[in-house]
Amino acid sequence: MISKIKEALICLRAPRVTFRYPLEPMPAPARFRGRPTIDGAKCIGCGACAAVCPPRLIDIHGEGTTRTVELNFSRCTYCARCQEVCPVGAMQCTTDFETATNDRANYSVKVELAAVACQSCGTPFITQRMQQKLMAEFQPAWMQQRNELPEWLSLCQSCRVEKTGMTMGRNIKNG
């Protein structure tokens, strides 16, 4: 009997060893890899994240002069490959791990970007932000001074192949 009382006293004096979660919020560690999201102010619509996502959760599609980057993280494995390859830091894995929801629409993040049209055939083929980034990185200084656009950067893939023979890059599909 005494040993039982002694045991109960030891247990009562012992500090708490578990968290009160979910009764109280429990912040994830700083380097925790949770729900990914896209910063619409930074995304240039390059498609690098879509190309490397193993379960193919990121889609880039076009309608007229709008290009939409859509992330549906419902089956995300939190591998962070999308974050690693994003050239502008727009794709980020947050520390949010509470993703249960009654509405599947809550799993979707969309960014809409304006596209520019091919100077030859008029087909929208690249986002404005993407074109600006390419110009900033590859436009020769003399062209920058004259505010001229290199021909390869003003043509869609089909017209580029036809007019210059350059085969790099691909268009973002409409529809």
Q: Is 62 exposed, middle or buried (0-12, 13-18, 19+ CB in 10 A)?
A: buried
Nearer to ligand SF4, 59 or 151 (CB): 59
Q: What track of x and - describes contact with ligand SF4 for positions 44 through 73 (by CB under 6 A)?
A: xxxxxx---xxx-xx----------x---x
DSSP secondary structure letter of residue 91: E
- The residue from 62, 67, 82, 159 that contacts ligand SF4 (CB under 6 A) is 82
- The residue from 7, 26, 74, 77 that contacts ligand SF4 (CB under 6 A) is 77
Q: Is 76 in the site for ligand SF4 (CB under 6 A)?
A: yes
User: How many CA within 13 A on the CB side of residue 156?
Assistant: 16
Q: Is 109 in the site for ligand SF4 (CB under 6 A)?
A: no
- Closest by CA to 38, choosing from 59, 64, 55, 61, is 59
- Closest by CA to 129, choosing from 161, 163, 164, 172, is 172
Nearer to ligand SF4, 106 or 119 (CB): 106
Q: How does DSSP assign 92-133, residue by residue?
A: EE-S------S-GGGGEEEEEEEEEE-TTT--EEEEHHHHHH
DSSP secondary structure letter of residue 74: G
How many residues belong to the site for ligand SF4 (CB under 6 A)?
A: 28
Nearer to ligand SF4, 86 or 153 (CB): 86
Assign residue 23 a region (left: φ > 0; alpha: ψ between -120 and 50; beta: otherwise).
Answer: alpha
Q: Is 90 in the site for ligand SF4 (CB under 6 A)?
A: yes
Q: Select from 10-18, 84-92, 151-159, 163-171 the region that touches ligand SF4 (CB under 6 A).
A: 84-92
CA 41 to CA 139: how far, in whole Å?
23
Smallest gap, in angstroms, from Cβ of residue 62 to ligand SF4? 13
Q: Which residues bind ligand SF4 (CB under 6 A)?
A: 36, 38, 43-49, 53-55, 57-58, 69, 73, 76-82, 85-86, 88, 90-91
